[in-house]
Amino acid sequence: MSRPAPAATRAAATERGPRRGIDGLTVLTVYVVLLFAVPSGLTITALGSAGRPATLWALGAGLWWCWHQLQRQSPLPPGPRRVSAALFALLAVAGFSYACAMLRGLPTDEVSPADNGLLRLLAWAGILLVGIDGLPSVGELRVLLRRLAWAGGAMATLGILQFLTGNLLLEFWHLVPFTMWEGPTSDALDQRAGFIRASGTAIHPLEYGVVLAMAFPIALALAVENRSAHRLLPWLPVAMITVASLLSVSRSTLIGLAVGLIIMLPTLSRNVRMLIVTVGGALTVAIAVLVPGMIGTIRGLFTGLGSDPSTASRTTSYDIAIDYMSRFPVVGKGFGTFIAKYHIFDNQYLLLAIELGILGVIAFLILVVAGIVSAAQARRTATDSLDRQLAQALVAALVAGSLLMAFFDGFAFSMSAGMLFLVLGLAGGARHLLAAGPPVPGQPMATR
């Protein structure tokens, strides 16, 4: 006689709904695994920089979305589709900019980056569209966000281990055949003030910081609204991300984490706020004792802004950016064509203004605002406290992620850009999923 499944297992199965083979949840889960687990500096040699596994999967996800739309039997959810419309506006600007660049002619070393840039945009667009339309129920949205939070926690744990050991801990990836490594090595780990700057599986600590800052509010929402029998387990990703952020020796990461927390605080109960303050204070004291000099270094990151080389580099780049922008002010010189030999702008918005012009910057800002508005609307229409917190977490993640794009050229890094576009898609999907009311156990949202 077979034993009944545990209550937690039955609840998880009900939340996910019936299995349907390869569906949107599977497509997005594989993307999250490739984005976080495979180092973003690893590419398939024959495909060059376009051969990152997450990017290739995202291109396939776009094709899956097209097939999914052709097979759709139910009508599209009612209401405005702000995120989709804003995305297609951005793609239209990028496509027109690419055509103009090819018609006027590009230097030889800019042609391949232009092609690669367009492919990367199409890949991110594919993931965004699957995020909007690929999850048929609120339960599957919860499952994916839970997996995203745990992926962020795992990334943070790897970063902590890198900090403690001074080792990249990714050497085994160098042995994968038919691949090329573009990331850092253990001998070339970035350092600041004598401390290792961890990067997880990202190429750069700033890319790593964007992922942590965007995953943090999602993990916090799931921990606050935890309904499982394991009371403390959901707090583990929150703790790991917090510790990793404090050890990151990165001003940008700490700003992103603080912004996400500030946006989440109004929705949290007084007890939870007190818990966060207490635990946060305890972690700070523990780091001060266990890592001498770290707290002083973090304080110096903010008090020494006037003499900081990275700050000076950013502030002195505006005149250079204006000069380049004036040459192609409307649609720019082509996405991806402003290569490093010209100048490195630690500001994705300046780089967008050069590569896609004024129209490109406006289109991207509209896309970000559309995602934030959609997530905010999802919070207003949600009838469950967990869904309200998750919608607020999407708002916080988007604000933090889009803000950090002003601190480095985030679209040049596949992990940070992929995370941003994924969350934009989930924000658009949350709007129509949560507007439809509470989920019916075992019944896909699209059929109700």
* Residue scoring higher pLDDT (441 or 68): 68
Q: Please determine, for residue 358, whether its predicted confidence score (pLDDT) is greater than 50.
A: yes
Predicted pLDDT of residue 192: 84
Report whether 206 contacts 420 (CB < 8 A). no
Predicted pLDDT of residue 20: 54
Q: Please determine, for residue 290, whether its predicted confidence score (pLDDT) is greater than 60.
A: yes
Q: Write phi, then psi, for 203 (nearest 5 degrees).
A: -75, -35
User: Average pLDDT in the 75-96 region?
Assistant: 88
How many Å is the Cα radius of gyration of the chain? 22
Report whether 61 contacts 292 (CB < 8 A). no
User: Average pLDDT in the 360-387 region?
Assistant: 95
- Provide the pLDDT confidence category of residue 19 given band limits of 50, 70 and 90: low
Alpha helices in 382-446 (DSSP H): 385-404, 414-435
Report whether 444 contacts 137 (CB < 8 A). yes
* Residue scoring higher pLDDT (339 or 396): 396
Q: Please determine, for residue 161, whether its predicted confidence score (pLDDT) is greater than 70.
A: yes
pLDDT digits (tens, 9 = 90+) for 202-236: 998 999 999 999 999 999 999 999 877 778 899 99
**CA-based end-to-end distance of the chain:** 36
Q: Write phi, then psi, for 192 (nearest 5 degrees).
A: -145, 130
pLDDT digits (tens, 9 = 90+) for 410-430: 999 999 999 999 999 999 999
* Residue scoring higher pLDDT (371 or 189): 371
**Which residues fall within 8 angstroms of residue 382, CB to CB, at 6 or more apart?**
388, 391, 434
**Which residues fall within 8 angstroms of residue 397, CB to CB, at 6 or more apart?**
213, 214, 215, 216, 217, 218, 260, 423
User: Average pLDDT in the 289-298 region?
Assistant: 87
| Confidence (pTM) | 0.90
Q: What percentage of the chain reaches a pLDDT higher than 90?
A: 56
Strand 42-44 relative to strand 179-181, pairing? antiparallel
pLDDT digits (tens, 9 = 90+) for 236-263: 999 999 999 989 888 899 999 999 999 9
Helix axes 414-435, 138-165, angle to 10 degrees: 150
Number of residues that this document lists for the chain: 448
Mean pLDDT, the chain, whole residue set: 87
Predicted pLDDT of residue 1: 42
**If you search the block for the tokens 């403690």, which residue do you land on?**
164
Predicted pLDDT of residue 220: 96
Q: Kindly state the tokens that stand for 438.
A: 């509470």
The whole-angstrom separation of Cα 176 and Cα 241 is 29
For 203-229, what is the HEC assignment? CCHHHHHHHHHHHHHHHHHHHHCCCCC
Q: Please determine, for residue 445, whether its predicted confidence score (pLDDT) is greater than 80.
A: no
- Provide the pLDDT confidence category of residue 76 given band limits of 50, 70 and 90: low
- Provide the pLDDT confidence category of residue 447 given band limits of 50, 70 and 90: very low
Q: Please determine, for residue 299, whether its predicted confidence score (pLDDT) is greater than 50.
A: yes
